[in-house]
Chains A and B, each alone.
Chain A
Amino acid sequence: MKKNSKLLSILPYAVILVCFLIIPTSIDKMFWYAAFISILAKMIASVGLRMVSLGGDMSFAMGAFMGLGAYGAAIMVTKWSFPFWAAIILAAVFAAIVAVLTGIPFARLRSIYYCMTTMFLGIFLIYIFQSFDWTGANTGIKQIPKLFGGKPAINYWYFLALAVVCIFCMWRFEKSRIGNTLKAIAQSHEVAASMGVNERFYRLMAIGVAAFFCGVAGASYALYYGSVVGSTYGMTLDLWIIMFFMVGGKDDFFGPIIGAALLGVVNEGSRTFGSYAPFLACAVLLLVAYLLPGGLASIPRTIKKAIDDKKMKQVDISAFSSGSDGKEA
């Protein structure tokens, strides 16, 4: 029984992985490779957002941390001619350091003030890069040497492997003692603090880990794409990452993964409709908001609850009928 339930819990991940293995290799390769690489990069960022949300915060700056990684890697490769792997890792560390340093004063803020101020922070960080000529101002950094010579197929396999490794690392992080501590802080930070938990330290650690993986995703994407433009890492990207996270559902680890996969495929697939494209993704958002309060990942739970309720109802009815029998007698 236990083995069975473990298999069941791995099943959705396996299904998503198989989809990602089959779909881009079987149809219109060039288009779907590019689309899926972008989806995978945003998926890593939205799972990173889940790490932050474990501690009860919602950071609106995830897109900006991707942007930090992207700019960092681009500068290191073009200006200082670092090797690719060193640039990716150092850029990710840079994003994590910035996230932790800004996180120290931000720990004062709570709930909606935290969300909104991190949104301003994200826009601010990207605007810094857009303000100076050394980082390319508004036109961004162009002509970055491309990862694997810019071949889509190898890049796609690299991104898939990267996503699997990053998501597995974050899964381990969530299941570790740190993850449990963060969940305790999310439930009540006063109680957690009274138990001797250094609340601020754990929240900083969560944002650092999240920003590191966002940085890895952003740096890899910049090196694959060959150019970095600040405006692509602005408010819209922040909001899309949050949408991926929320459509999937914020109560399950699987949530951001299915959210990014579904919404990303809808969003990229509807490119063929030209400028009408965003309507389809918005329709998905509205449908999920109205019909699935817990997000996509809550569907099995909702069905199970419905079945249980039905069973409960049957029990109730039998109890009621026996009661009425008693009255008659």
Chain B
Amino acid sequence: MFTGTIWLGIGVNTLMLASMYIMAALGFAFIFNMLGAINLAHGNIYMIGAFIAYAICYYTGLPNWLSILIAALITAAFGLLLERFAIRPFKDDFSRIVMVGVALMFIFQTSATLFTGTKTLSIPLLAEGTVRIGALGISNQKIIMFVIAVVILAIVLFITNKTKLGREMKAVSQDRLGAALQGIPINRVAAIVCAIGCGIATIAGGLMGSYQSLSSGMGDTITLRILMLVMMAGAGSMNGIIVTGLIMGFLDAFFPVLLSGSLATTVTLFVVIVILLIRPKGFFGHEM
């Protein structure tokens, strides 16, 4: 029933969505793996980052790629504050970290709603035009998004696997107390990681905001995706989110072709729930 063209389209969308989801989820996953703390505000940093990028682009007239980059630096600086004031004091207390996360989430959403008003906002496209492969047209925007994502993920994978910071992150996520006894400054590592995560999430938000339009609801959507992706990967798995990111991307690219709007989301949620029931600790995770 599916022709080659449709499968190719699904494949392209899978790669594009998966790369965005993984970029948005990195900061959340790092903090969750290292400290066992869930930062519910992270998905909304993706959203607020896109709004900051729009504001810079609109009010100063800078080119769109530069404004996304500046927005990423701003949210990275904000990430340092976030780690210091919203995660570090509460990292062992589930209820308080959820409270702070939800409060920040509502604050970001309300700010975004106030900023948007009734307008439809959108960052200008990074690239015009399409590339044709057979009967399928792939917009240059999608290709650029994917390339940027691959470059950033390669850098992040290099950092986590080859550098001192990456080894420190791994040590902390394996055993926090042991890492502290070996002289690893846990708080500093967590702050750097949170800043990097927020910056990358903002780049993802900016790219997505130039592909689609901006809305305050995009924070909620991505929060749900991030949670599903990280829970499927499981706690303690740094590279697993790339696999589950591809799964999430495929589910979100495949079902909308078959089914209408909310039914597609329903089926996606169902598949994720079933996966989590079969693998209660995620694909690569361990007991919390």
Cα–Cα, bound, A316→B114 (Å): 56
B99–A123 contact, CB under 8 A?
no
- Determine whether the beta carbon of A112 is less than 8 Å from that of B288: yes
A137 to B260, CA, bound (A): 11
Q: Are B96 and A293 in contact (CB under 8 A)?
A: yes
* Interface residue? A250 (CB, 8 A): yes
A251 → B minimal CB distance (Å): 10
Question: A72 to nearest B CB, angstroms?
Answer: 18
- Residue-wise, chain B 235-279 has the 8 Å CB interface mask toward A (1 for contact) of 100000000000000000000000011110110011011001100
Nearest neighbor of A292 in chain B, beta-carbon distance? B96
Neighbour of B277 across the interface among A106, A247, A283, CB < 8 A: A106
User: Contact between B263 and A108 (Cβ–Cβ < 8 Å)?
Assistant: no
Indicate if the CB atoms of B38 and A286 lie closer than 8 Å: no
Neighbouring A residues of B220 by C-beta, 8 Å: 235-236
List residues of chain A with CB within 8 A of the CB of B269.
120, 123-124, 127
* Residue A147 lies at the interface, judged by CB distance under 8 Å to chain B: no
Contact with A along B92-122 (1 / 0, CB 8 A): 0111101110111111011001100000000
Report the bound CA distance from A105 to B110 in whole Å.
37
Interface pick from A9-17, A77-85, A208-216, A271-279: A271-279
**In the complex, what residues of B have CB within 8 A of residue A160's CB?**
none
Knowing A246-B99, A250-B95, the reply to whether A138 touches B262 (Cβ < 8 A) is: yes
- Which residues of A are found within 8 Å of B109, using beta-carbon distances? 278
Chain A contacts for B276, CB-based, 8 A: 109, 113, 117, 120
Q: Which residues of B contact A282 (CB under 8 A)?
A: 103-104, 106-107, 110
B277 and chain A: residue at smallest CB distance? A105
Is A113's CB under 8 angstroms from B231's CB? yes
Known: A117-B273, A235-B224, A243-B99. A275 touches B110 (CB 8 A): yes
Known A-B contacts A112-B288, A247-B99, A279-B110; the reply to A120 vs B262 at CB < 8 A is no
* A120/B272 in contact, CB under 8 A: yes
Alpha-carbon distance between A71 and B265 when the two chains are bound, in angstroms:
19
Determine whether B90 belongs to the interface, using a CB cutoff of 8 Å to chain A.
Answer: yes
Instruction: Report chain A residues within 8 Å CB of B266.
Output: 124, 127-128, 130-131
B-contact 0/1 string along A123-158, CB 8 Å cutoff? 110011011100001100000000000000000000
CA distance A250 to B109 in the complex (A): 27
The answer to whether the Cβ of B280 comes within 8 Å of any Cβ in the partner chain is: yes
Once A120-B273, A131-B263 are accepted as A-B contacts, the answer to whether A246 and B114 lie under 8 Å apart by CB is no
Cα A246 to Cα B105 in complex, Å, equals 16
Among residues of B, the one whose C-beta sits closest to the C-beta of A230 is B262
- Per-position binary interface string of chain B over residues 169-187, scored 1 when its CB falls under 8 Å from any chain A CB and 0 otherwise: 0000000000000000000
B49 contact set on A, CB distance < 8 A: none
A283 to B110 Cα, complex, angstroms = 13
Q: Is B88 an interface residue (CB 8 A)?
A: no
Cα–Cα, bound, A123→B272 (Å): 12
Residues of B within 8 A of A290 (CB): 89
A285 in the interface (beta carbon within 8 A): yes
Name the distance in Å between A113's Cβ and chain B's nearest Cβ: 6
**Other-chain contact of A127, B90, B107, B110, B262 (Cβ < 8 Å):** B262
Contacts of B103 on A, CB cut-off 8 Å? 282-283, 285-286, 289
Q: Is the interface of A mostly helix, strand, loop or mixed?
A: helix
| In contact, A110 and B280 (Cβ under 8 angstroms) | yes
Q: Which residue of B lies closest to A239 (CB)?
A: B102
Given A123-B269, A131-B263, A276-B114, A112:B102 Cβ within 8 A: no
A274, closest chain B residue (CB):
B114
Docked complex: B3-51 residues within 8 A CB-CB of A? 36, 38
By the criterion CB–CB under 8 Å, are A123 and B288 in contact? no
A290 to B288 Cα, complex, angstroms: 25
Give the docked Cα–Cα distance between A274 and B75 (Å): 28
Please tell me if the beta carbons of A275 and B99 are within 8 angstroms of each other in the complex.
Answer: no
CB distance from A188 to the nearest CB of B (A): 15
Say yes or no for B73: interface residue by CB 8 A criterion.
no
Least CB distance from B105 to A in Å reads 8
A282 closest partner in B (C-beta)? B103
Q: Assess the B38–A243 pair: CB atoms within 8 A.
A: no
Question: B231, B270, B280: which contacts A124 (Cβ < 8 A)?
Answer: B270
Given contacts A128-B266, A235-B224, A282-B106, contact A109 B277 (CB under 8 A): yes
Q: Is B218 part of the binding interface, using a Cβ–Cβ cutoff of 8 Å?
A: no
A111 at the interface (CB under 8 A from B): yes
Given contacts A113-B276, A131-B260, 14 further A-B contacts (CB under 8 A): A109-B277, A112-B94, A116-B38, A116-B231, A117-B276, A120-B228, A131-B266, A236-B220, A243-B99, A247-B99, A282-B103, A282-B107, A285-B100, A285-B102
| 21 pairs of residues in contact across A and B, judged by CB atoms under 8 Å | A108-B280, A110-B288, A113-B231, A113-B276, A113-B288, A116-B227, A120-B227, A120-B269, A123-B224, A127-B265, A131-B262, A137-B262, A239-B105, A243-B99, A246-B96, A275-B110, A281-B106, A282-B106, A285-B100, A285-B103, A293-B96
Which A positions have Cβ atoms within 8 angstroms of B? 58, 105-106, 108-113, 116-117, 119-121, 123-124, 127-128, 130-132, 137-138, 235-236, 239, 242-243, 246-247, 250, 275-279, 281-283, 285-286, 288-290, 293, 295
- Top 7 A-B pairs, shortest CB-CB distance: A285-B103, A124-B269, A131-B263, A282-B103, A127-B266, A289-B99, A246-B95
